[in-house]
Structure 1
């Protein structure tokens, strides 16, 4: 084989290798499942990217009706996407109040408690910076598919569907320009078996031809339910660590029945509240108990099903505390300075007393010596 032929053969191999690598990358991209989040799944064009940075949900349950308000913060290159959420009964959908989560966050803020320290720290005199400024503080039913409702809510196209076969849902998504990944169809089968319905929402940015990114308007779903259930099964599709944050409004303190394959849920607030504003509009009353729960899922594929929450044994309140450390002062003067001055005065008094005692002892000694001298002189 000539040198030119060898070079040409090597070049063909390299080109073939590059083609195979690009083909593999394309197949992986096409096979990528929808993005799974806490209570639903995103379906988008596999040629684009989509990620949910944060999911915040509030759940209101009175024993008969469940309401879920969810806000998503998304980013990526997808110009639109479809969000699918399974629900146990027929749901109504409307836009939620964006002020709700700000109010819930304020209600569950850690209470501030003050702690005092005695000795000065960095930022206190005499350990201030050169410019004298103090250091800054450290800083969750018929066959096929039936469209039982369709409406436009702001930027959202909302369809409420019944389906006894995921293929029917696949066909609806296809008619909207989306493809239902096989893995998502598989995870939907348990909901089909339980005769759940779906809320399918087409998401689009406010301006056409722009990527779907930022915080979306919250959506408010309501459906009949004699148990408080929060759909989580679809999160099994996620390939990265998942986290769940829930604000639960109910007559009593609530807790998950199990961990469903995640870390132990942590309560960061529990207490009876007096709802106002958007929280009151969600259906709260003077007897509302708010339970705020955080949970992480380091290995989402281990999720076993949906969260079902039950009444806790006791309505025990709980609140986090944030401590602020302040130099202890008395009358505006640092206590350590007053203490130091007091110690110095005591030392000075002690030294003075010692000197007085020494002088008196010396005087008595001198007087005694003088008397002995006089006595000796007289006798002589």
Structure 2
């Protein structure tokens, strides 16, 4: 058979080049950072990138006052970043305890239940070389329209607490004080200005001058008066990449969001009354409290329609995920199937011996009769 060698025509080469360019553009767009996060607007130098891989927050509400502890996990090339958090009333801001989310994760971890299977699998004897048999699936004025309530340096954070009666003036103040925020943010802030909310503006730079922001940032803790618990999310509609939110709510009862606000249905992965310890006890102010843990995803952030308003659920129904581990059923370290098979073998052997014995006797009787 003759072999035919295909040669690329100039038209095909151009088409291939166009396809490669389109792929490159798509990859660049995927690598762009989230423009906002659930905590508020996140902004970096346009020449750099930063993605918020995960936002985890804890909310405590006692009926009169709300506290939010916020932790972000980021990655990218940015050497500094700034974001803004709207709050319904004047906020007090301090550094949060990094151990809080570790303790919350431990409290809400799945319960482990052990299950057994009867027949051996590929990793069990006699298929495997050992007998372990375990398996698991594993204010002062600062210009028209803006007031400065306070400005503090909290660890690596430069925090400004602000009031504003004009979103444009707020944007201009932030820009003039080193918070590079885009014009579109002023439009997004209008509903908060109309409701007379206040703002926490946060700027962060890594400890080492030439380092980039990466990993889990130090948590910030904000507290403010609130007759109803709310988690600000409206600014996240500015995001250009899908958003992910993990929310722990500490209150007197099981809590739930009033709606999905444009994301997937919030998924409860833990609900129950707890006796808090460590950093969780500090946030809960001691004593027993009800903890509700939620996960939610926003595949299309532009659909976000407002802030998360939290309300008491219809019932304080507890819930906990369950993880199953599987192992071969044993008695005294011996697989049960071997005992059963061994027992059946003994029975079969006895039956065979009995049959042979009966046949032998019948043959002897037959021989005696002929004689």
TM range (shorter): 0.7 to 0.9
Task: Please give the TM-score of this superposition, normalised by the length of structure 1.
Answer: 0.84
- 1:37 maps onto 2:43 in alignment: no
User: Alignment partner of 1:354: what SS?
Assistant: helix
- Counterpart mapping for 1:299-378 below 5 A: 299-366=300-367, 369=369
Per the alignment, residue 147 of structure 2 pairs with: 146
Contact 1:67 1:222 in 2 (8 A): yes
Tell me if 1:100 matches 2:100: yes
Aligned counterparts, 1:1-380, within 5 A: 35-128=35-128, 137-139=136-138, 144-366=145-367, 369=369
Q: Displacement, 1:115?
A: 0.6
Unaligned runs of 5+ in 1: 1-20, 374-380
Contact 2:34/2:241, CA 8 A, preserved across alignment:
no
Correspondence for 2:18: none
Residues 220-244 of structure 1, C-alpha deviation per residue, up to 9 Å, x if partnerless?
0000111111111111111221111
Show structure 2 runs of 5+ residues with no match.
1-20
Q: How big is the shift at 1:162?
A: 0.3
SS at match of 2:284: coil
Distance 1:234 1:350 in 2: 80
Structure 2 contact 133–328 (Cα < 8 Å) conserved: no
Distance 2:74 2:127 in 1: 46
Deviation of 1:186 after TM superposition, in Å, equals 1.2
Whichever of the two has the greater Rg, that structure is 1
Deviation at 1:54, TM superposition (A): 1.8
The whole-number CA distance in structure 1 between the counterparts of 2:285 and 2:275 is: 8
- Measured on the aligned residues, the alpha-carbon RMSD in Å equals 2.5
Q: Is the 8 A contact 1:33 1:184 kept in 2?
A: no
C-alpha displacement at 1:182, in angstroms? 2.1
- Determine helix, strand or coil for the equivalent of 2:193: helix
Task: Compare 165-174 and 63-72 and name the one that shifted more.
Answer: 165-174
Query: How many residues matched?
Result: 341
Q: TM-score, normalised to structure 2's length?
A: 0.86
> Greater shift after overlay, 224-233 or 210-219?
210-219
Tell me the CA shift for residue 79 of structure 1.
2.1
SS in 2 for 1:282: helix
CA–CA separation in structure 2 for the residues paired with 1:250 and 1:196: 23
Separation in structure 2 between the aligned mates of residue 356 and residue 101 of structure 1, nearest angstrom: 74
Q: Contact 1:44–1:178 at 8 Å: present in 2 too?
A: no
Q: Structure 1 residues 176, 213: closer, same or farther in 2, change over 3 A?
A: farther
Distance 1:173 1:81 in 2: 13
Question: Any conservation in 2 of the 1:33–1:237 contact (CA below 8 Å)?
Answer: no
